[in-house]
């Protein structure tokens, strides 16, 4: 290997140039615009869509489930910029009131999480769109179950089309 053929990973380049590639004022502005939350979330929550999962193995989701979820979001014309993914096992104080107060949630999708787990005072079946507290809720099966079952995918897709059509 010669010095002419050295390949640097994106992470290494970022570490090498972290102080010179970003202007100081721009970095401050980005930090001001980020929502402040005591919850451990993945995503920027710009469109106030909260996705709650339950996974004991990882901080958020295993890679295959996250990739599947990203495909679902893409089909709904959403990105990680628009949503916040929260693992209920890593956020012990998750209640519907706290989600409303801290994340200003408008739409909440529960994958493998029951409404009772977030102290929602009502129960409703899977794939039923439910309005409560000026928020829209959907409960769905766990992501691996949806990923492997065409009927479950269809039920989820029909709900998502309704709530994201506007």
State pLDDT tens for residues 145-156: 999 999 999 999
Q: Is 22 left (phi over 0), alpha (psi -120 to 50) or beta?
A: beta
What span, in angstroms and rounded, lies between the C-alpha atoms of 124 and 115? 8
The two tokens of residue 71 are 């495909």
Domain 39-163 annotated CATH 3.40.470.10 = yes
Question: Is the predicted pLDDT of residue 33 greater than 90, yes or no?
Answer: no
Query: What's the whole-number mean pLDDT along residues 79-98?
Result: 92
pLDDT band at 24 (very low <50, low <70, confident <90, very high): low
Domain boundaries, the chain: 39-163
Q: How confident is the model at residue 25 (pLDDT cuts 50, 70, 90)?
A: low
- Of the pLDDT bands very low, low, confident and very high (cuts 50, 70, 90), residue 30 is very low
CA distance 152 to 149: 5
Confidence of residue 5 (pLDDT cuts 50, 70, 90): confident
pTM for the full predicted model: 0.76
For residue 66, pLDDT over 50 is answered with yes
Residue that the structure tokens 């999708």 belong to: 109
């Amino acid at each position: 290997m010669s010095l002419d053929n050295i390949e640097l990973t994106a992470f290494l380049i970022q570490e090498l140039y972290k102080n010179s590639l970003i202007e100081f004022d721009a970095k401050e502005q980005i930090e001001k615009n980020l929502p402040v939350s005591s919850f451990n979330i993945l995503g920027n929550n710009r469109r106030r869509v909260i996705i709650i999962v339950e996974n004991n193995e990882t901080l958020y989701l295993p890679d295959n489930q996250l990739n599947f979820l990203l495909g679902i979001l893409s089909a709904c014309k959403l990105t990680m910029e628009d949503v916040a993914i929260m693992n209920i096992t890593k956020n012990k104080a998750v209640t519907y009131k706290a989600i409303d107060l801290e994340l200003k949630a408008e739409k909440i999708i529960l994958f493998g999480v029951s409404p009772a787990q977030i102290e929602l005072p009502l129960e409703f079946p899977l794939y039923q769109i439910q309005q409560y507290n000026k928020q829209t809720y959907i409960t769905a099966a766990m992501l691996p179950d949806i990923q492997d079952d065409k009927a479950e995918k269809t039920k989820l897709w029909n709900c998502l089309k309704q709530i994201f059509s506007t």
